[in-house]
């Protein structure tokens, strides 16, 4: 059996191990999220320095041992320099990577998650986009990849597809005007409903292209925060460093 693998992926986190090594968490297209050793990565002239840096994206040549992977060589094609050189952007990027690290699984198809992370970091690095909006899009698409997103394409009480401008936290999605009287809920701004539908149904590559008024963004943020508090039972360490 050949235990040598070629992996396309991104480093999510790195921890020092022993005197000179690092252990990294790597989100890959081929093996899902794996943990791997990078021997000598802490030596100043190591050719594997970049391979053990969070946010490094590229091709990793790994050896699969009995219960661990070892990176032998890496060809890093994207370093996200624009993100790395801005402290605010680093905070958002760190949060994105922590989220991907938490939900990513070994042996699962994590291609969409990897593409989302890549696109999210690219959007941050462009500089002229609203970081808060990028984060909302990232969070909502993560819910979608996890299969935990709200249903915003029909009334969850009667099944009707028109006039679904109300949101019910209890039903985890939209409600039509007729059902609103008995089901309750909150009225959504039209642009917030479109934003929810757009993010959930659009491929990751085209996701970060839209804009939202501050008013609509506030409603989306408030809604998503309450939705996550209710349906996602995890708090991320890096989240508290993000600007409110
Ligand atoms: Zn209805």
What are 92-103's pLDDT values in tens digits?
999 999 999 999
In order of their start, the domains of the chain are 4-79 (2.40.50.140), 82-150+185-241 (1.20.1440.120)
Closest CA to 103 of 19, 7, 33: 33
Instruction: Using alpha carbons only, give the angle 112, 59, 64 rounded to the nearest 5 degrees.
Output: 95
Instruction: Using alpha carbons only, give the angle 208, 214, 218 rounded to the nearest 5 degrees.
Output: 90
User: How much distance in Å is there from the Cα of 160 to the middle of ligand 1?
Assistant: 6
Confidence of residue 129 (pLDDT cuts 50, 70, 90): confident
User: How much distance in Å is there from the Cα of 192 to the middle of ligand 1?
Assistant: 19
User: How much distance in Å is there from the Cα of 27 to the middle of ligand 1?
Assistant: 41
Q: What is the pLDDT of residue 17?
A: 95
Distance CA 206, CA 145 (A): 15
The predicted model gives 166-179 an average pLDDT of 97
Q: What is the pLDDT of residue 20?
A: 95
The predicted model gives 132-145 an average pLDDT of 96
- Least reliable range by pLDDT among 74-78, 92-96, 116-120, 127-131: 127-131
Confidence of residue 241 (pLDDT cuts 50, 70, 90): confident
**Residue 27, pLDDT above cutoff 80:** yes
The SS3 assignment for 222 reads: helix
């Amino acid at each position: 059996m050949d235990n040598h693998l070629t992996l396309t992926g991104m480093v999510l986190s790195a921890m020092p191990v022993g005197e000179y090594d690092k252990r990294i968490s790597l989100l890959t297209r081929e093996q899902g999220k794996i943990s791997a050793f990078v021997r000598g990565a802490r030596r100043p002239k190591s050719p594997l320095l970049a391979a053990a840096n969070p946010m490094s994206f590229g091709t990793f040549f790994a050896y699969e041992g009995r219960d661990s992977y070892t990176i032998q060589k890496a060809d890093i094609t994207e370093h996200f320099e624009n993100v790395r050189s801005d402290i605010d952007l680093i905070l958002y990027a760190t949060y994105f990577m922590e989220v991907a690290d938490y939900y990513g699984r070994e042996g699962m198809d994590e291609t969409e998650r990897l593409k989302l992370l890549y696109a999210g970091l690219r959007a941050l690095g462009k500089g002229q986009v609203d970081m808060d909006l990028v984060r909302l899009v990232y969070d909502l698409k993560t819910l979608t990849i996890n299969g935990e997103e709200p249903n915003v394409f029909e009334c969850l009480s009667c099944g009707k597809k028109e006039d679904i401008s109300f949101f019910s936290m209890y039903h985890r999605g939209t409600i039509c005007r007729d059902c609103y009287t008995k089901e309750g809920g909150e009225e959504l701004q039209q642009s917030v409903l479109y934003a929810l539908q757009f993010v959930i149904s659009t491929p990751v590559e085209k996701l970060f292209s839209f804009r939202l008024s501050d008013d609509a963004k506030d409603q989306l943020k408030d809604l998503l925060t309450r939705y996550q508090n209710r349906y996602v039972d995890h708090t991320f360490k890096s989240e508290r460093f993000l600007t409110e």
